[in-house]
Chains A and B, each alone.
Chain A
């Protein structure tokens, strides 16, 4: 084995780590970071020099094996066995391709500390440099093997004897195997196998565990709910609320809702667009970078697996994390600091999304103590496809084809593999719970797949997400049947058991169904795009899913039973009661100082540091870019003409009244979109719930209320839901104390617009133009940012007045279409005060506002007017010469003229204060991670 160490002449990474250490309140001396490549195999000196030249830069770096002074402390960090190292894979590829023989490459990170005490180094290791789930410090004399391979064992088919088990024993079996199946479900499975006249294999039970899981089947949302305090019952919550909106509205432009991997709407005569938002909460809490990156990877594959595959054209990312100034001492054991989590997820999403060439056009960060141990990571993706590619259908005799990355132990939970049952020992050193993404593999897959789609070489496709090949094949085979030979599946390393291959959640894989005659052309395309393609089986008309590994029969289950035989769950709910009212700001508030604390609060403060780390302009179609407006406007490239779409989202987790929480989330999504010029009659919505355990009737009751709120408001607005996802077990247990996330409903929206030129940003434009407010302000500051800063709990929270709101949205759309509105911003967190400030930033202009012009309902003090977060309100700049026309359009709705754009750089709120924009902007930009 030979070693090449690379030092950067300008060691930016080392300096950054030093700063990070100092951020922890510790002091560190000089710090260096080096890259190390280990080369395995016979290499001549000449070849060694050539390789060194490839892995280093002759101008900005130097290479060698360096000596460090004796007082310097050196640690080397290596990835745990089984964790993917794309750099090593790619380096080995290039070396082999240019004609050198090498057995393997491994990479390490080397950190050199000067004048730093051991305690500091230990804390730095723990909090900055490594995550034990994926990395470890190279121990003295540790032999670093080239490729990890498990000891190869003769594959077996472990059987589970369940027919004679009692109910209690069945439940214990479910627990010990980590199946998360309940008593009824286990009994149903046991009966099924009795009828089949045999005992199940471990793989078969795993298959049920996956397909009957909350994640795959949404049994809570689709099950029965008994409402305890109202003596009533709900059958299928999802169908009776969220899906009901879509059914009742019957919008002809909804092409597919709640069926495929994403919801699909019409774009124009030729194209359709699809949209999906997923959560990746738990993996991101454990390993923020990898968890968030694979979150993006997963939702992008949903889009690639929607219909016959759509081209991803935009990503959205919404993060909910704990407060950045949370003291380390208050963190429960095993919880990463919110700053580290946020940094990790931001760079994970950026790295993966940027490398896939998908612009990240919209997103937000919300801070709340309830997210400290349970951070939420929502990843969304929008795709475009020809309308002719929306439908897919597997034909009997089609081949089952696995494409993309190789299969390893990634994402198989160690707990599932307790050796007693499986008769296979999971090597402790294998860290399998955490997945590391490889964006290059996914990009190749994306390019190859879309090329094959355009030549219509396959009949159906789906992604390998949760449950891997097991879920993908079972779902594709619905109504037909499939036979799969697992021995054909290409592996990352030897030694996986057949069951592991079947359920592995390795990233960057998809399954195609294609006729045999297209195989050679498919192979050619995937080869050109450097993506792997393997035939692993055939779809047959047996109505069964039959999985073999050589001569061994791993799994043989009736598909109808597997996909639809699950007993309905029945959950109990207690509907929350009691509504608080009265929410005015305290009298005699020092408005000026409160105002600055609002602007520098992490929720409001500029996210520019974060947004700029994402490529938001790749593909050339981002018309309204992030930081400029409440929502994004994009014009997809393959489409001629001016048609485009608006993408936005909203969430309001601070409102404890869950009905108001849900309706405010929906309203925020819609008003963000309308603020840039979306047509309210062409908006489709997505719902994503992150909740505490539904086993708790109180949580369940809140879920019911939230769904009812979404039904009520979406119906009133005439906006169908097209897709959704729920993540229902966001709890963290520490010292027997359960902590769950605040009920969080992310509503995302997508709206088609005829002309992307008829959209507006939030920055004020022309001095002298009048400023209006649209919508009514109510005394409902409960849960508002002002109350949170002042630590006032309780108080009435914002309601939505659906009839008034939708009228406003329609009128605003007309005004923007007519070119009368030059800039527009919605009022959300921080109310009018924050909205008018943000409109000034970057404009070089100022605003003069008089609160007397604000239409209010029973609000008494000016601070309440300035900071109320009433829904459905906008601040607009109107073309001064067309004021009359604007007022004519708005007549009949609540609106008022409140001031004008001024050339000076001041924000003047008459009778209250006059502050320089520069000062406000400094406060707004004061936070950086």
Chain B
């Protein structure tokens, strides 16, 4: 069974629905407080997927996700690099995306700053997948998910960043126009993936759309888009661990 670890930190608040969504997609999920994991970092190596869920880690004091990103860098970086040597995945949702970005796990070319309107914003957005390498968004093109954040504006240092997810308007074009682009993200970026396709961070919440009834309106498609993203991750790990013939001996 695919094993996922949700990293709990003080102020995290989307952990339960993230857990339920991954369980619905067939993974077994544990949640460990960051304080406990710091004491025994090797625990991370027992898992296939590391999830940094949404919320306000450490109250978002200083800036969104900043304090947890400092702890990631100081106490967990080496273990995460070790973890990535296997066929594993890392997913950061909303605050988790902010943590991934600020800890440098998604490169050093972008940051996330406060929304252009200076406010927290909860709304459903339309998105387009622009990166074929990303394991999480495989087979997806145009999707809908809710965002809910105050600090989701992507700022690019310089050059071009390979966006995986872009906010789009009614003509399906990446846009800077509010409310389609809810936070003023440069290049309409809603989420990015590393070059390997295995580390993915996004502002929208896939775990808030793993059931059809979570959609505002009538949902006619078969599988909710959030569930597709999560299922992609679980299926990929499942296929890889059996393909490579490596079965983990470690279990509790």
Measured CB to CB, the closest approach of chain B to A35, in angstroms, equals 9
Q: Compute how far the CA of A793 lies from the CA of B88 in the bound complex, rounded to whole angstroms.
A: 71
B114 touches A12 (CB 8 A): yes
Bound form: Cα–Cα A55–B208 in Å: 31
Question: What is the CA–CA distance of A751 and B60 in the complex, to the nearest angstrom?
Answer: 35
- Contact of A440 (CB < 8 Å), options: B58, B74, B118, B213: B58
User: Shortest 9 CB-CB distances between A and B: which pairs?
Assistant: A357-B13, A440-B59, A620-B17, A90-B61, A59-B111, A60-B113, A87-B61, A615-B148, A355-B56
Which residues of chain B have C-beta atoms less than 8 A from A612's C-beta?
A: 119-123
Nearest CB of chain A from residue B37's CB, rounded to whole Å: 11
Instruction: Indicate with 1 or 0, residue by residue over B1-32, a CB within 8 angstroms of chain A CB atoms.
Output: 00000000011111011001100000000000
Q: Are B14 and A357 in contact (CB under 8 A)?
A: yes
**B139-179 CB contact bits vs A (8 Å, 1 = yes)?**
00000001010100001110000000000000000000000
- The answer on a CB contact under 8 Å between A623 and B67 is no
Q: Is the CB of A86 within 8 A of B61?
A: yes
Q: Which of A12, A59, A354, A620 contacts B56 (CB 8 A)?
A: A354
User: Which A residues are CB-close (under 8 A) to B54?
Assistant: 618
Give the docked Cα–Cα distance between A621 and B208 (Å).
8
Q: Is the CB of A94 within 8 A of B70?
A: yes
Answer whether A444 and B10 are a contact pair too, CB < 8 Å, given A354-B120, A613-B119: yes
CA distance A440 to B20 in the complex (A): 24
Residues in B whose Cβ lies below 8 Å from that of A739: none
B66-A54 in contact (CB<8A): yes
Q: How far is the CA of A13 from the CA of B123 in the complex (A)?
A: 22
Q: Establish whether residues A615 and B213, one from each chain, have CB atoms under 8 Å apart when the complex forms.
A: no
Q: B residues within 8 A CB of A538? A: none
Rounded to whole angstroms, the CA-CA distance of A54 and B70 in the bound complex is 7
Q: How far apart are the CA atoms of A438 and B20 in the complex, in Å? A: 28
The proximity string for A residues 442-459 relative to B, scoring 1 for CB distances below 8 Å and 0 otherwise, is 011001000000000000
Q: Look across to chain B and name the residue whose beta carbon is closest to the beta carbon of A638.
A: B16
Contact B16 A530 (CB under 8 A): no
Contacts of B205 in A (CB 8 A): 617
Binary flags per residue of B41-71, CB closer than 8 Å to A gives 1, else 0: 0000000000000111011111100110011
User: Contact partner of A443 among B11, B21, B70, CB < 8 A?
Assistant: B11
Q: How far is the CB of B118 from chain A (nearest CB, A)?
A: 5
- Choose among A12, A90, A98, A530 the residue that contacts B116 (Cβ–Cβ < 8 A): A12
Say whether B111 contacts A440, CB under 8 Å.
Answer: no
- Is A59 a contact partner of B119 (Cβ separation < 8 A)? no
Q: A709 → chain B, closest Cβ, in Å?
A: 36
Q: Is B113's CB under 8 angstroms from A10's CB?
A: yes
Distance (whole angstroms) from the CB of A607 to the closest CB of chain B: 13
B36 within 8 A of partner (CB): yes
User: What per-residue 1/0 map shows which CB atoms of A73-114 lie under 8 Å from chain B?
Assistant: 000000000000011011100100110000000000000000
A345 within 8 A of B: no
Q: Which of B195-218 contact A (CB under 8 A)?
A: 205, 207-208, 210-211, 213-214, 216
Q: Which residue of B lies closest to A443 (CB)?
A: B11
In the bound complex, do residue A756 and residue B213 qualify as a contact, i.e. CB atoms below 8 Å apart? yes
Which A residues lie within 8 Å of B56 (CB)? 354-355, 439-440, 443
For window 51-103 of chain B, which residues contact chain A by CB distance below 8 Å? 54-56, 58-63, 66-67, 70-71, 74, 102
Given contacts A350-B120, A619-B16, 12 further A-B contacts (CB under 8 A): A16-B118, A54-B66, A59-B157, A60-B111, A354-B56, A440-B10, A440-B56, A615-B120, A618-B14, A620-B20, A623-B214, A638-B16
> In the complex, A13→B71 CA distance in Å?
28
9 contacts between A and B (CB under 8 A): A16-B118, A59-B157, A87-B59, A87-B62, A89-B61, A94-B62, A618-B148, A619-B14, A637-B16
Residues of A within 8 A of B36 (CB): 528
Q: Check if A620 sits within 8 Å of B118, measured CB to CB.
A: no
A50 and chain B: residue at smallest CB distance: B70
A705 at the B interface (CB under 8 A): no
Q: How far is the CA of A54 from the CA of B61 in the complex (A)?
A: 11
B55 contact set on A, CB distance < 8 A: 357
Query: Does chain B have a CB within 8 A of A251?
Result: no
Residues of chain A lying within 8 A (CB to CB) of residue B208: 617-618, 620
B59 touches A637 (CB 8 A): no
Is A804 part of the binding interface, using a Cβ–Cβ cutoff of 8 Å?
A: no
A390 at the interface (CB under 8 A from B): no
CA separation between A8 and B207, bound complex, in Å? Answer: 32
Chain B residues, CB < 8 A from A356:
13
Question: How far, in angstroms, from A649 to B119 measured CA to CA in the complex?
Answer: 26
Q: Interface on B for A, CB 8 Å cutoff?
A: 10-14, 16-17, 20-21, 33, 35-36, 54-56, 58-63, 66-67, 70-71, 74, 102, 108, 110-111, 113-114, 116-123, 146, 148, 150, 155-157, 205, 207-208, 210-211, 213-214, 216
Instruction: Report yes or no: B216 in contact with A615, Cβ–Cβ below 8 A.
Output: no
| Nearest opposing residue in chain A for B117, CB measure | A12
With A440-B59, A528-B35 known to touch, is A57 a contact of B111 (CB < 8 Å)?
yes
Near B by CB (< 8 A), chain A positions 600-627 give 611-623, 625
Chain B contacts of A530 at CB under 8 A?
A: 10, 35
Is A729's CB within 8 Å of the partner chain B?
Answer: no
Nearest CB of A to B185, in Å: 12
Q: Are B111 and A94 in contact (CB under 8 A)?
A: no
Could you tell me the distance between the alpha carbons of A55 and B69 in the complex, rounded to whole angstroms? 12
Contact with B along A283-296 (1 / 0, CB 8 A): 00000000000000
Which A residue's beta carbon lies closest to that of B213? Answer: A623
Q: Give the distance to chain B from A624, nearest Cβ to Cβ, in Å.
A: 8
CB of A40 within 8 Å of the partner chain: no
A59 CA / B148 CA spacing, docked (Å)? 23
Residue on A with the closest CB to B110? Answer: A59
Over the window 1-20 of chain A, the binary record of Cβ atoms lying under 8 Å from chain B Cβ atoms (1 yes, 0 no) is 00000001110110010000
Establish whether residues B110 and A57, one from each chain, have CB atoms under 8 Å apart when the complex forms: no
- Smallest Cβ-Cβ distance to A10: which chain B residue: B113
The answer to whether A625 touches B216 (Cβ under 8 A) is yes
CB of A628 closer than 8 Å to a CB of B: yes
Q: Tell me the nearest residue of chain B to A763, going by C-beta.
A: B217
Q: Does A660 contact B (CB under 8 A)?
A: no
Nearest-Cβ distance from residue B224 to partner chain A, whole angstroms: 11
Find out whether the CB atom of B121 lies under 8 angstroms from the CB atom of A90.
Answer: no
Inter-subunit contact B35/A616 (CB<8 Å): no
Q: Which residue of A lies closest to B19 (CB)?
A: A637
**Contacts A613-B121, A620-B214, A637-B17 known; A528 to B33 CB distance under 8 Å?**
yes
Identify the closest chain B residue to A642 (Cβ). B213
| Cα-based distance from A622 to B33 in the complex (angstroms) | 26
Bound-complex Cα distance A621 to B61 (A): 27
| A756–B212 CA distance with the chains assembled, in angstroms | 12
Interface residue A635 (Cβ < 8 Å from any Cβ of B): yes
How far apart sit A262 and B17, CA to CA, in the bound complex (Å)? Answer: 26
**A-side contacts of B60, CB under 8 Å:** 355
A616-659 vs B, CB cutoff 8 Å, 1 = contact: the mask equals 11111111010010000001011000000000000000000000
Of chain A, the residue at the smallest CB distance from B17 is: A620
Contacts of A334 in B (CB 8 A): none
A54 to B54, CA, bound (A): 21
Closest CB-CB distance, A629 to chain B, in whole Å? 10
Bound form: Cα–Cα A495–B137 in Å: 58
Residue from A90, A625, A757 having most chain B Cβ neighbours under 10 A: A90
By a CB distance below 8 angstroms, the chain B residues around A91 are 61-62
CB nearest neighbor in B for A95: B70
A529 at the interface (CB under 8 A from B): yes
Q: Is the CB of B59 within 8 A of A355?
A: yes
User: A892 interface residue, CB < 8 Å from B?
Assistant: no
A54 to B157, CA, bound (A): 18
Interface string of A343-355 (1 = CB under 8 A from B): 0000000110011
Inter-chain CA distance A466–B113, complex, in Å, is 38
A615 CA to B122 CA, complexed, in Å: 6
Q: Is the CB of B120 within 8 A of A55?
A: no
Which residue of the partner chain, among B33, B150, B155, contacts A59 with CB atoms under 8 Å?
Answer: B155
A803 interface residue per 8 A CB criterion: no
Given A356-B13, A440-B11, A617-B146 contact (CB < 8 Å): yes
Which chain A residues border B10 with CB–CB below 8 Å?
440, 443-444, 447, 529-530
Q: Which of A55, A57, A628, A757 contacts B113 (CB 8 A)?
A: A57
